[in-house]
Amino acid sequence: MRTSMSRSSSSLSLQQEPLSLKRFKQSMIMMKPLQQSKSLNSNNTNSSLNINLKCLTIKEDDFDLVQSKIKLNKGELEHQFERFNSLIDIEQSYQTTIDK
């Protein structure tokens, strides 16, 4: 259920993101439990599936962590850009003062 919800919500935003992030999201979304076919033939099917589902959940949590770091980096870049623009304004006003 959680996988299908994240699949639909992330596919809407894939079109506007850089290619590397798009590939990362697709690999996280397409990830399936690794040994599901082998474990169906064994007697301990439930334990193998539970282990694989835990691995999948960890990968989804990693994806959420990466998304939050991207948002933080975007905020930091915007802050640095504002500081850069204010420095340019200060330099231009200083240059205007010198020219007069």
Per residue in 58-99, pLDDT tens?
Answer: 667 777 788 888 887 888 888 889 999 999 999 989 888 888
Is residue 81 included in any domain, yes or no?
A: no
Is residue 86 included in any domain, yes or no?
A: no
Is residue 84 included in any domain, yes or no?
A: no
Could you tell me the CA-to-CA distances from 30 to 4, 11, 43, 83, 93 in Å, in that order? Answer: 10, 12, 27, 40, 54
Is residue 68 included in any domain, yes or no?
A: yes
- pTM score of the predicted model: 0.32
* Rounded mean pLDDT, 34-56: 57
Is residue 88 included in any domain, yes or no?
A: no
Average pLDDT, the chain: 68
Angle formed at CA 35 by CA 24 and CA 66, multiple of 5 degrees: 20
pLDDT at 6: 43
Task: Indicate if the pLDDT at residue 42 is higher than 60.
Answer: no
Domain count, the chain: 1
pLDDT at 64: 78
